[in-house]
């Protein structure tokens, strides 16, 4: 009986094929067993996850991102890919993707082979480097295939994107708020010479009583009293543009204040300042 089982196992062993990821799984399991005291030692499951990330997950993700980046579908796709990676990791851990019978067969197949720590960590770092390189090379390759080549930015200082980090520093420094102006007010702001020269303001806000505590807006008190600003009988709109950069890469900002009147916006004051100033 024992000979028959051994013969059947050998017959199955001849028919079973082993691949590169099987060898990586064996390396990970052997490293886990040899370096039990190290918290960051690799494991067979982590080696399998690296293979899935490099050869399946990243090509699908970056290819889809190249064609659907500006589409709202891409946001749902990104969420689905994150959930899918978690599901794949769970399936590997439960043995649904890489069955335990396959793992036992792999360990028996490589039994007696000498374990090399150098070879193990060589593959670990090589796979990690390949995953990082793929994140840079695959999008560039898709751009070349698709015919859309990335154009180098000639002067990054003159094109300031309206991003959250641009506004956050101003919020901390001068208490700026991002308010959505009405269509009529936005039209008047767009007609201003500062907008045509420096682009859209970083933020637009109406000055309220709680904004008058510091020295930044003290010049408005030359045009209206605090009570008039408090009760809203005199309304002022504040706009701030990025005018440029200093040699030390500090933003030069231009803030303009307008009084809202029936005829439109009337400029009353302006201030040029840098974001490292204190008020």
Note the pLDDT tens digit of each residue in 124-134: 888 888 888 88
**Contact present, 217 and 238 (Cβ < 8 Å):** yes
Half-sphere exposure of 26 (CA within 13 A, CB side): 21
pLDDT of res. 66? 77
pLDDT of res. 7? 54
pLDDT of res. 157? 43
Do strands 251-261 and 264-274 pair parallel, antiparallel, or not at all (unpaired)?
A: antiparallel
By C-alpha distance, which of 245, 244, 226, 246 is closest to 236?
A: 226
Predicted confidence band at 11 (pLDDT cuts at 50, 70, 90)? low
Half-sphere exposure of 81 (CA within 13 A, CB side): 18
- Which secondary structure element, helix H or strand E, spans residue 236, and what is its range? strand 236-245
Predicted confidence band at 166 (pLDDT cuts at 50, 70, 90)? low
- Report residue 246 CA to chain centroid gap: 28
Residues 6+ apart with CB under 8 A from 199: 160, 241, 242
Structure letter (DSSP) for residue 254: E
Maximal C-alpha separation, the chain = 104
pLDDT at 214 over 80: yes
* Mean pLDDT computed over 104-112: 86
pLDDT of res. 237? 94
- For 169, the token pair is 């520093």
- For 270, the token pair is 């302006």
Name beta bridge partners: 206: 237
* Percentage of the chain modeled with pLDDT above 90: 15
Task: Output the CA angle 232-236-240, nearest 5 degrees.
Answer: 145
- Which secondary structure element, helix H or strand E, spans residue 243, and what is its range? strand 236-245
* Mean pLDDT of all residues belonging to the chain: 81
Give this prediction's pTM: 0.44
* Poorest-pLDDT segment among 65-69, 97-101, 252-256, 271-275: 65-69
- List helix spans (H) across 95-192: 100-109, 117-146, 164-174, 183-191
pLDDT of res. 154? 44
């Amino acid at each position: 009986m024992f000979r028959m089982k051994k013969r059947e196992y050998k017959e199955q062993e001849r028919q079973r094929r082993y691949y590169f990821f099987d060898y990586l799984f064996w390396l990970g399991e052997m490293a886990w067993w040899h370096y039990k005291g190290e918290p960051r030692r690799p494991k067979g499951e982590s080696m399998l996850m690296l293979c899935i990330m490099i050869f399946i997950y990243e090509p699908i993700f970056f290819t889809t991102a190249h064609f659907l980046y500006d589409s709202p579908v891409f946001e749902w796709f990104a969420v689905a890919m994150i959930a899918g990676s978690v599901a794949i990791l769970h399936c590997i851990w439960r043995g649904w993707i890489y069955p335990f019978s396959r793992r036992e067969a792999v360990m028996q197949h490589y039994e007696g082979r000498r374990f090399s720590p150098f070879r193990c960590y060589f593959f670990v770092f090589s796979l990690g480097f390949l995953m990082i390189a793929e994140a840079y090379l695959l999008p560039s390759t898709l751009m070349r295939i698709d015919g859309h080549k990335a154009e180098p930015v000639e002067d990054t200082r003159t094109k300031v994107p309206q991003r959250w980090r641009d506004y956050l520093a101003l919020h901390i420094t001068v208490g700026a708020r991002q308010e959505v102006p009405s269509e009529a007010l936005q039209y008047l702001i767009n007609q201003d010479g500062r907008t045509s020269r420096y682009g859209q303001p970083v933020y637009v806000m109406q000055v309220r009583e709680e904004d008058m505590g510091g020295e930044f807006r003290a010049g408005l008190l030359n045009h209206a009293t605090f009570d008039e600003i408090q009760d809203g009988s005199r309304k002022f709109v504040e706009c701030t543009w990025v005018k440029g950069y200093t040699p030390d890469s500090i933003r030069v900002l231009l803030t303009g204040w307008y009084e809202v009147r029936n005829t439109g916006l009337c400029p009353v004051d302006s201030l040029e300042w840098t974001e490292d100033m204190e008020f």
